[in-house]
């Protein structure tokens, strides 16, 4: 099954915005108007939904200061209520600061006009691509926010959207070797497979244009197009054996799921969460259950190295296995950020034992799935502490076709702890020195890595206590180790039902929840006030 179709990143739906062509093509006045709209939408979204209150004056000044990274000769100075912009120390413009500090449109107008004046007076900025100017200003703005908020412009934004939402194409991955463009993978069920294309085929021409002198990017651009349109290819197993065929493009969403069965175990690897992850995983679980039949001993869900993706897909993946109950809750400053997500009363895996593999690169949506499965008692976790990205970002598509990612809420596991910085702790740690399968499993038989009360105390204190946070993270710190160890431990658990059941009881959050007296009045549990769906969010 195809795992990646392009060297770009993950996926989710969009919030607001409208599309426009690249602003570099507009006349200066038109460009300034577009800039005002871009910054007005950006400032308005930051003011409205960002996790913490913001100071628009500071954001504006820091954003314009970002232009100094493009041209160090540019500088700003505030005198009273006036902003002076300078080039080589010479004032080239003066602008009144907005009277109201909470007026996004006024601050956006100031940003666009000051940037326009600086571009008119700075040869460096005048020669700089408009997308790069937007990037520099937004980088300055975003520097005042958290590390997960960001702005993406230009072609990168287009590529990221393709990976998240899909694109019009034929569903192939292509490798460039000197003058040869070889298909390395074909998306199962995609247009290319339906047309008979196979891995190893060479793409010799696209719509009559030979590919020998084209780059991989140029080949990709020519293969893409509106869904429903036709592309004519010349393909062959060698350059001398070409045949022509037409392929009708369709919406292609890169596959993120790889599945196979071995020795009664269904192995499911998810490398990120895009718009097709949950339905593809659900289909894989059903297929493996049918294939294994009575021989099925359980499933291994591999989330190692998974950087995350769409919130709604993380919730839907957890829902595949959890037969009811809380999956996660989120809380932020905006009322709509107060959400709870609950599972439906079904389990596609039929209650078969489940082991989830995590490591220090498992982040965001992957951590949501791991925490939900652990807290519900549905899975034993094997590996190391996860990354600790416990926040949700919304994505706003701006009028220049760029995207603004803003953190708007924190994520809370069903047992109440925040994933932010803490991450998820495994049931069985495999990253400590000199561990083998028997040593790793011995901790389960002995009752866990640490006393339950100690882990609970660190969980409660960690959000505000750096020492407690460090102690918690050090219980199973992520270190590179042989990946086979995780799989061997997972197989051992699935092959020993009593030990697997003991592992479920030894999970850090499971033992914490049994400490009713310890948690009374401490406020470990959290609540959310508004149910909602997260299709417009990225954790």
The CATH number of the domain covering residues in 167-252: 2.30.42.10
- Does pLDDT of 412 surpass 90? yes
Q: Is 122 considered catalytic here?
A: no
pLDDT at 517 over 70: no
Closest CA to 113 of 132, 86, 95, 138: 95
The catalytically annotated residue of 13, 255, 364, 391 is 364
Q: Which of 8-17, 442-451, 468-477 has the lowest mean pLDDT?
A: 8-17
Choice among 389, 415, 486, 491 that is catalytic: 389
Domain spans of the chain?
A: 23-159, 167-252, 257-397+406-538
Taken in order 519, 520, 523, 529, is the CA torsion positive or negative? Answer: positive
CATH of domain 257-397+406-538: 3.90.226.10
416: left (phi over 0), alpha (psi -120 to 50) or beta: left
Known catalytic residue at 389: yes
Catalytic (active site) residue 263: no
Q: Quick: pLDDT tens for 464-484.
A: 889 988 888 888 898 887 779
Q: Which residues pair with 252 in a beta bridge?
A: 167
In this prediction, residue 450 carries a pLDDT of: 66
Query: How far is CA 20 from each of CA 35, 37, 136, 251, rounded to the nearest angstrom?
Result: 12, 11, 20, 21
- N residues, the chain: 539
What integer pLDDT is reported at residue 448 of this predicted model?
A: 65
Neighbours of 57 (CB within 10 A): 16
Environment class of 176 (CB within 10 Å of its CB; exposed 0-12, middle 13-18, buried 19+): middle
Q: Report the distance separating Cα 310 and Cα 364, nearest Å.
A: 9
3-state secondary structure of 311: helix
Structure tokens, 405 = 């990612």
Q: Is the pLDDT of residue 252 over 70?
A: yes
Q: Which of 162-176, 281-295, 443-457 has the highest mean pLDDT?
A: 281-295
Residues 188, 368: Cα–Cα separation, whole Å: 28
Mean pLDDT within 257-278: 96
Q: 80: phi > 0 → left, psi -120 to 50 → alpha, else beta; which?
A: left
Query: What mean pLDDT do residues 335-359 have?
Result: 97
368-377 in b/e form (b: 16+ CB < 10 A) is bbbbbbbbbb
- What's the mean pLDDT in 69-86? 97
Considering 359, 375, 401, 486, which one is annotated as catalytic? 375
Q: What is the mean pLDDT of the chain?
A: 87
**Rounded average pLDDT over 491-514:** 80
Closest to 409 measured CA to CA, from 318, 473, 313, 328: 328
């Amino acid at each position: 099954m195809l795992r990646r179709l392009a060297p770009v990143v993950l996926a989710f739906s969009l919030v607001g915005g409208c599309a426009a062509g690249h602003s570099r093509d507009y006349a200066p006045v038109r460009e300034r108007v577009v800039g005002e709209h871009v910054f007005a939408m950006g400032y308005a979204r930051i003011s409205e939904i960002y996790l913490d209150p913001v100071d628009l004056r500071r954001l504006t000044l820091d954003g314009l200061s970002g232009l100094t990274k493009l041209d160090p000769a540019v500088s700003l100075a505030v005198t009273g209520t006036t902003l002076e912009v300078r080039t080589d120390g010479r004032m080239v413009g003066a602008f009144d600061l907005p009277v109201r500090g909470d007026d996004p449109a006024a601050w956006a107008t100031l940003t666009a006009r000051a940037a326009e004046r600086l571009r008119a007076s700075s040869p460096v900025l005048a020669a700089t691509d408009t997308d790069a100017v937007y990037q520099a200003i937004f980088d300055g703005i975003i520097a005042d926010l958290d590390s997960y908020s960001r702005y993406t412009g230009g072609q990168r934004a287009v590529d990221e959207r393709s990976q998240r939402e899909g694109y019009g194409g034929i569903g192939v991955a292509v490798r460039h070797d000197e003058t040869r463009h070889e298909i390395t993978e074909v998306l199962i069920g995609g247009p290319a497979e339906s047309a008979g294309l196979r891995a190893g085929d060479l793409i010799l021409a696209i719509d009559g244009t030979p590919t020998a002198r084209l780059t991989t990017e140029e080949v990709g651009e020519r293969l893409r197009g509106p869904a429903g349109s036709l592309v004519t290819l010349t393909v062959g197993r060698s350059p001398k054996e070409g045949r022509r065929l037409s392929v009708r493009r369709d919406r292609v969403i890169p596959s993120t799921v790889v599945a196979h069965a071995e020795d009664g175990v269904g192995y499911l690897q998810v490398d990120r969460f895009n718009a097709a992850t949950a339905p593809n995983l659900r289909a894989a679980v059903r297929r493996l259950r049918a294939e294994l039949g009575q021989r099925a001993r359980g499933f291994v869900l591999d989330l190692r190295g998974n950087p995350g993706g769409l919130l709604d897909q993380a919730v839907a993946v957890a829902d595949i296995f959890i037969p009811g109950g809380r999956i996660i809750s989120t809380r932020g400053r905006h009322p709509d950020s107060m959400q709870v997500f609950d599972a439906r009363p079904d389990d596609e895996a039929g209650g078969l034992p489940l082991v989830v593999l995590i490591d220090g690169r498992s982040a965001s949506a992957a951590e949501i799935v791991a925490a939900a499965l652990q807290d519900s008692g549905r899975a034993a976790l094997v590996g190391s502490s996860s990354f600790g990205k416990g926040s949700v970002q919304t994505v706003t598509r701006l009028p220049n076709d760029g995207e603004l990612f803003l953190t708007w809420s924190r994520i809370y596991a069903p047992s109440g702890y925040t994933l932010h910085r803490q991450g998820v702790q495994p049931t069985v740690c495999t990253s400590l020195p000199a561990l083998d399968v028997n040593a790793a499993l011995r901790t389960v038989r002995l009752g866990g890595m640490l006393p339950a009360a100690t882990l609970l105390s660190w969980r409660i204190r960690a959000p505000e206590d750096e020492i407690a946070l460090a102690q918690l993270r050090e219980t199973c710190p992520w270190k590179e180790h042989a990946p086979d160890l995780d799989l061997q431990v997972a197989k051992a658990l699935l092959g020993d039902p009593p030990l697997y059941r003991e592992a479920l009881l030894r999970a850090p959050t499971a033992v914490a929840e049994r400490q009713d007296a310890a948690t009374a009045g401490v406020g470990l549990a959290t609540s959310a006030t508004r149910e909602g769906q997260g299709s417009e969010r990225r954790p």
